[in-house]
Structure 1
Amino acid sequence: MRTRGGFITVFAAGALLSACAGTPAALRPEAAKAVETKGYLTPSLIRTLADAMPPPPVAGSPVDLADKTRSNQFRTLEDSDRWLLATAHAELRPPLALQHFDCALGVRLGSATTPNLNRLMQRLFDDSDAAAELVKARGFRARPVGDDPARRSCQRVSEAGRKSASYPSGSSTVATVYGEAFAALEPGRAVEVRRIAHEMGLSRLVCGMHYPSDVAAGEVLGKAVFDAAAATPDFDADLAAARIELAAARSTGLTNPGCASERLALATPLP
């Protein structure tokens, strides 16, 4: 753990994990392999949701130019505390990504085993990722790091990654679905978890991986995916099982040691 400008970088490897305590078994990447990956939505419904999304802004249009101006302003956050948080937010796959919501929930996910919660979120991830990829395939828009090969990102990006489609932000889509799911699990903390979901989308602007309208479109798509998934027959039972596990995690009384650092990072003014 290193300190830079008073900020303890517990935002390691894409999740708010305590380096001293280690990664709980339930949250190690290999644990995700046992989680069912079938989503809630049929391919035809996913396509319907994707088809309802507008195309990306036309290159050189007022929206496109405004996006690029705003994106350049985010360069001022490179290597800041908010940049480090954005590095953590680049991890979107459950179960590790669920820890981004620890502080908003007031728990430490991983203090109890949560296979049902992990399964719920994996299914939502699969649906939201599939929908975002369908929209991307309909109309290509370059990423900020693709438009400017010299643009730094807060994550390791391959050449293929730089050339991949930016609209809509799949990360914002997934984060929004997670936020809506946690809001359904804990209605009393709906404002807090939705804020973190939005901040995860903003992190993609900090990283130079998306433009503002990409993130906004991802949020719209994410809400549509969640609403559709929540209306399926399996969803309520999965939500109830996940709620029991979340209560068990809360009963341990443990909280994430990185919450003070997260609050500091989120207090950084955005350009």
Structure 2
Amino acid sequence: MKRARRAAGAVAAAGLVILSSACTTARPVTATTALAGYLPAPAMAAGPAPSEPSSTDRQQSLALAALVDTDRWFMATAHAELSPTLAVQHFDCRLGTRIEALPTPALDRLMTRLATDVMARITALRPAEGRPGPVAMEPGRRSCVRLTATRQAQPSWPSGAAALGVAYGEALALLAPDRAEAVRGMGAAIGHSAAVCGLVWPSDVAAGAEVGRTVFAQVATTPEFIADAQAARAEIDAARASGLTNPGCAAERRALALN
């Protein structure tokens, strides 16, 4: 039984590696790493993070631990890639295209600046000492990514992964409104993946998602974002018109069926 399960997981892993091919292929990504965000730097105002996970958090996290080595686990491993110019490819199947196939400088710029704003807000809210995630608090809990001791002890509230996933989803929903519900669903799944990996508690995901929605709503009103969005929308339209699709979409559908 275990052997069959591992074999199925290996097949799914192969599909999800294809799905996250940006990590291993040479995509023509615009150099945007030094870009500032769209918003002024937020004032430091650390929130009162919960000191201990609730019983509900613990129960839900324990249920997620059972997904180790399943298709959903391998998807969560792929979702650990959150850098803005690469994470956009997590949305390929929802957009019905393959973003890596064409240069997208405006989209790269938009996603990079948005990520800067989101993580600045997360940093401002996150207390210097907050509760660590499940992999740090539960002996023997496996994570789907390699963690340094510093990263393992990092406060998990609010979840940066959830904030980025939701913000990316909101941006792509604006750029491809006919796929809005689908891309928002993937944005939420990215945040959920952090909990599947044992990096954060489910309530951290909810808090991070709210940060992502709030920051995006503020970013979306800025003139610079509006200009970038117009150019990025044309790039996405061109990618969708190319007819290219991501061959990992079947693996994605199978993985998400385990949510």
TM-score (norm 2): 0.90
* SS of residue in 2 equivalent to 1:240: helix
Equivalent residue number for residue 37 of structure 1: 35
| Cα drift, residue 33 of structure 1 | 3.5
Q: Is the 8 A contact 1:18 1:257 kept in 2?
A: no
Count how many residue pairs are aligned between Structure 1 and Structure 2: 252
Amino acid at match of 2:94: A
Distance 2:13 2:71 in 1: 9
Equivalent residue number for residue 16 of structure 1: 20
Distance 1:143 1:94 in 2: 23
Equivalent residue number for residue 56 of structure 1: 49
| Cα drift, residue 250 of structure 1 | 1.1
Runs of 4+ in 1 over 6 A off after TM superposition: none
Amino acid at match of 2:136: G
| Within-5 A mapping of 1:41-190 | 41-43=39-41, 46-47=42-43, 51=45, 55-59=48-52, 64-137=54-127, 140-190=130-180
Distance 1:70 1:240 in 2: 41
Superposed CA RMSD: 2.1
Q: Is the 8 A contact 2:159 2:200 kept in 1?
A: yes
| Cα drift, residue 35 of structure 1 | 5.0
Alpha-carbon displacement from aligned partner over 1:133-184 (angstroms, at most 9, x marks no partner): 1111365121111112421100111111111110000010011100000010
1:230 aligns with 2:220: yes
Distance 1:164 1:54 in 2: 15
Distance 2:148 2:139 in 1: 11
| Cα drift, residue 131 of structure 1 | 0.7
1:4 aligns with 2:7: yes
Distance 2:253 2:101 in 1: 21
Amino acid at match of 2:37: G
Distance 2:231 2:216 in 1: 18
Equivalent residue number for residue 3 of structure 2: none
| Cα drift, residue 266 of structure 1 | 0.5
Judged with a 3 Å threshold, the aligned counterparts in structure 2 of structure 1 residues 121 and 18 are, in CA distance, closer, same or farther, namely: closer
Q: Is the 8 A contact 1:67 1:212 kept in 2?
A: yes
Amino acid at match of 2:71: D
Which deviates further from its counterpart, 232-241 or 82-91?
A: 232-241
Q: Is the 8 A contact 1:16 1:256 kept in 2?
A: no
| Cα drift, residue 34 of structure 1 | 4.1
Judged with a 3 Å threshold, the aligned counterparts in structure 2 of structure 1 residues 236 and 36 are, in CA distance, closer, same or farther, namely: farther
* SS of residue in 1 equivalent to 2:50: coil
1:194 aligns with 2:207: no
Judged with a 3 Å threshold, the aligned counterparts in structure 2 of structure 1 residues 36 and 161 are, in CA distance, closer, same or farther, namely: closer
Distance 1:81 1:180 in 2: 26
| Cα drift, residue 205 of structure 1 | 1.1
Amino acid at match of 1:12: V
Give the unaligned 5+ runs of structure 2. 1-5
Equivalent residue number for residue 210 of structure 2: 220
* SS of residue in 2 equivalent to 1:37: coil
TM-score (norm 1): 0.87
| Cα drift, residue 243 of structure 1 | 0.5
| Cα drift, residue 96 of structure 1 | 1.2
Q: Is the 8 A contact 1:36 1:119 kept in 2?
A: no
Amino acid at match of 1:78: V
Distance 1:16 1:261 in 2: 11
Judged with a 3 Å threshold, the aligned counterparts in structure 2 of structure 1 residues 216 and 134 are, in CA distance, closer, same or farther, namely: same
Equivalent residue number for residue 256 of structure 1: 246
Distance 1:167 1:25 in 2: 33
